[in-house]
Amino acid sequence: MDADNGGRPGPENPPGPLQKQGERQERQPVNMTKPPSVHSGPSAPPAVAEGDIRASDADRDRVAEILREALAEGRLDPQEHAERIDTVYRAKTMGELEPVIRDLPAAGAGRAQPGPDAYAYGPRAPVPDQNLVAIFSASVRKGRWQAPARINAFALFGSVEIDLTEAVFPQQQVQINVTAVFGSVEIRVPENITLRSSGSGILGSFEIETHDAEDGNAPQILVNGYAVLGSVEARPKRGAWIRDLRDRVWEDHRALRHELREERRERHHQLRHDRQEWQERLRAARRERRDRFR
């Protein structure tokens, strides 16, 4: 070492091994990232896929409603509808429900409005007026029936119920004249018709939920009259629609085919039973003849 520079190697002296090691340590890059903590908690569980979510009763009912609409519109036949309904109520996850309605529109989205020829208006035998009277009693008209052009309802200390949700309209306009004196008259109509009113209440209630149908060819119902210390109420029944009359004919045709199948099945059973009885009588006659000659 050179004594003049305090024992440090001069330019003429090569650096020692300790100095080389110090220089290598100074040139190493410093890791600024924080090392993972040993005491960190468990990682969050992976998110559940949407198709693996458990289906609720409301989800199954929603899918069943879409299938019911598809059956009513003719998109599914009864056999396909029964098979898919069975799949719906056996499904446990949303992924099992989705394929059932993949080829169907959403509820109400694919509901086609009836065309100009959907309603069977035209010349035919007139339907007589319907008179409903309730005096200290009740009078009800509901189910499938032909709505006449004029319906007269009178309630005196009684109640009258008129349900047109399943009725067939031979004509476009139906007029309902109501009189409620210490009584009540309740009218229910489908959603896709026109409902208007020109009545009034005298110390009573005359409530008509007026509605204009989007289809100009839809039936029109006009409620006239008054309520004296009574009540008159008319409104659409939610979920009730007038189907195309041709769909009603198709339903009747299917019901007729079902009845014919049942009749053929019963006739077949009767013929088989008669044949078995005839064969039994024939065997009995043979045994009798055989015993006679013995």
The predicted-structure confidence for 173-210, as pLDDT tens digits, reads as follows 899 999 999 999 999 988 878 888 888 888 889 998 88
Res 241: pLDDT: 55
Cβ neighbour number for residue 61 with a 10 Å cutoff = 11
Res 15: pLDDT: 54
107: pLDDT strictly greater than 60:
no
- Range of lowest pLDDT (56-60, 187-191, 232-236): 56-60
Both tokens of residue 91? 């499904």
Q: For the whole model, what pTM was predicted?
A: 0.45
Both tokens of residue 135? 């005096």
Given pLDDT bands bounded at 50, 70 and 90, which one contains residue 136?
very high
Given pLDDT bands bounded at 50, 70 and 90, which one contains residue 270?
confident
Q: Which residue has the higher pLDDT, 280 or 34?
A: 280
223: pLDDT strictly greater than 90:
yes
Exposure b/e, 163-187, CB count within 10 A at least 16 = b: bbbebbbbbbebebbbbbbebbbbb
Report yes or no: 232 and 178 within 8 Å, Cβ to Cβ.
yes
164: pLDDT strictly greater than 70:
yes
What does the DSSP assignment read for 16-57? Answer: PHHHHHHHHHHHSPP--SPPPPTT--PPPPPPPPGGGSBPPH
Distance from C-alpha of 162 to C-alpha of 153, rounded to nearest angstrom: 9
Most confident listed range (71-85, 222-236, 238-252): 222-236
Given pLDDT bands bounded at 50, 70 and 90, which one contains residue 140?
very high
Chain centroid offset of residue 96 CA: 18
